[in-house]
Amino acid sequence: MPHTLSREFIDFSIEMGVLGFGEFRTKAGRLSPYFFNAGRFYDGASLGRLAQFYAKALLASSLDYDMLFGPAYKGITLASATAVALAQCGRNVPFAFNRKEVKKHGEGGMLIGAPLAGRVVIIDDVISAGTSIGESVDMIRAAGAIPVAVLIALDRMERSGDEKTIGALSAIAAVEQQYGIPVFAIAKLDDILVYLTHCQDAALNKYLPAVREYRRRYGSEPVDNSEGMVRS
């Protein structure tokens, strides 16, 4: 992603309380110095701005795609809102999403929205275990369409597993390896490190050492500190 877009997204996430710093226990049992909860984008204005970031990320990419797909549940809102934002930018694409359970009355089935066809981008917030992405890929391929990429809000850039059994790959790398499709994000943990490095707000800047150490300990890729930047 363009550095400007990532920085603006981090600014926005902090402003909305979606990205916070302190001490937080992750599902894997790790003590993390930061958290990201996309569920806090819960009003019309914030969802609209979030969708613009997804749309800009897609427009800035070289992806060739025909439609969007949102995995239930968070992906439903994200894919729908992103389709609206893309249309406002002059790129009108259809979208679809799935139910968690098959509906046996009315239109029935697992899928809602446009028929799955062509080249499909999966839209979600983060990837933890990759389960919903795997289910999405299977549904898209079963319909005869082609999943070409996954777009998420934040790449935590950390290896999977718990404190005792740290995996060799991140959940994102595992998805890319298993399904053969790229995963890209509006922002990465390295972008957060760069943001904290250059931040003039002492209340935020003080968390830099803890976030840097977390990245060193659990990171899925080596840290590159060239030219004062933290990139992978």
State the pLDDT at residue 165.
60
Per-residue pLDDT band at 131 (split at 50, 70, 90): confident
Cα angle for residues 161, 76, 170 (degrees, 5° grid): 20
89-101 mean pLDDT: 92
Q: Is 3-228 CATH 1.10.10.10?
A: no
C-alpha atoms less than 13 angstroms from C-alpha of 150 in its C-beta half-sphere: 30
State the pLDDT at residue 121.
98
**Tens of pLDDT, residues 206-232:** 999 999 999 999 988 765 443 333 333
Q: With H, G, I as helix, E, B as strand and everything else as coil, classify residue 223.
A: coil
Q: Say which of 100, 103, 198, 206 is annotated catalytic.
A: 103
Q: Where is 152: in which H helix or E strand?
A: strand 146-155
Q: Say which of 74, 100, 104, 105 is annotated catalytic.
A: 105
State the pLDDT at residue 106.
46
Domain range summary for the chain, segments of one domain joined by +: 3-228
The whole-chain average pLDDT of the chain stands at 89
**Tens of pLDDT, residues 66-85:** 999 999 989 999 999 999 99
Look up 103 and say whether it is catalytic: yes
CB 22 within 8 A of CB 58: no
State the pLDDT at residue 227.
33
Percentage, residues of the chain above pLDDT 90? 75
Rounded to whole angstroms, how far apart are CA atoms 48 and 56?
12
Look up 105 and say whether it is catalytic: yes
140-158 mean pLDDT: 96
Percentage, residues of the chain above pLDDT 70? 89
State the pLDDT at residue 225.
45
